[in-house]
Amino acid sequence: MKDHKYSWFKIMHASGFGARSMYYIYSQLKVNGHSISDFFHFPEKDIQELFPDLGKGLLSRAKFENLIKLDDSILSKSYDDLRESGTDIITVDDKIYPKIVLKKLGSDAPLVLFCKGHLSLLNSKSVAIVGSRNANEQTINFTKDIAIEFVKRGYNIVSGNAKGTDRAAHSAALESNGTTTMVLPEGFDNSVYDNGDNQTLVISQFLPQTTFRGSFAMTRNKLLVALSEATVVITSGPERDERGKMSGTFDAARSTLHMNIPLYVVSPMMFEISPTGNREIISLGAKEIFKEKSLVSKRKIKSSQLLTTWIQA
Q: Which secondary-structure segment (H or E) carries 89?
A: strand 88-91
Separation between Cα atoms, residue 66 and residue 11, nearest integer Å: 9
State the pLDDT at residue 301.
44
- CA–centroid distance for 181 within its chain: 9
- Last-in-domain residue among 30, 59, 84: 84
Residue at 283 is within a domain: yes
Same domain (yes/no): 206, 261:
yes
Separation between Cα atoms, residue 129 and residue 169, nearest integer Å: 7
Give the count of alpha carbons within 13 A of 129, CB side only.
Answer: 32
Q: What CATH code is carried by the domain that includes residue 165?
A: 3.40.50.450
**Residue 128 in 3-state DSSP?**
strand
Residue at 101 is within a domain: no
Same domain (yes/no): 257, 128:
yes
pLDDT tens across 107-143, in order? 999 999 999 999 999 999 999 999 998 888 888 988 9
State the pLDDT at residue 130.
96
Residue at 90 is within a domain: no
Name every residue whose Cβ is closer than 8 Å to that of residue 218 and which is 6 or more positions away in sequence: 246, 248, 251
Are the CB atoms for 289 and 271 separated by under 8 Å? Answer: no
Residue at 99 is within a domain: no
Residue at 46 is within a domain: yes
State the pLDDT at residue 235.
94
Same domain (yes/no): 75, 141:
no
Asked whether the predicted pLDDT for residue 297 surpasses 90, the reply is no
- Categorize the per-residue pLDDT at 311 as very low, low, confident or very high, splitting at 50, 70 and 90: low
Residue at 78 is within a domain: yes
Question: Lowest-pLDDT range, 84-88, 89-93, 236-240?
Answer: 236-240
Same domain (yes/no): 173, 304:
yes
Helix segments in the chain, DSSP class H: 4-12, 19-31, 44-50, 64-68, 72-84, 99-105, 137-152, 165-175, 214-226, 248-258, 276-283, 308-312
Q: How many domains does the chain have?
A: 2
CB atoms within 10 A of CB 295: 15
State the pLDDT at residue 270.
83
Same domain (yes/no): 31, 157:
no
Residue at 25 is within a domain: yes
- Categorize the per-residue pLDDT at 246 as very low, low, confident or very high, splitting at 50, 70 and 90: confident
Asked whether the predicted pLDDT for residue 68 surpasses 50, the reply is yes
Same domain (yes/no): 203, 302:
yes
Same domain (yes/no): 160, 303:
yes
Query: Domain containing 15: what range?
Result: 4-84
Residue at 92 is within a domain: no
CB atoms within 10 A of CB 171: 18
- Greatest CA separation found in the chain? 73
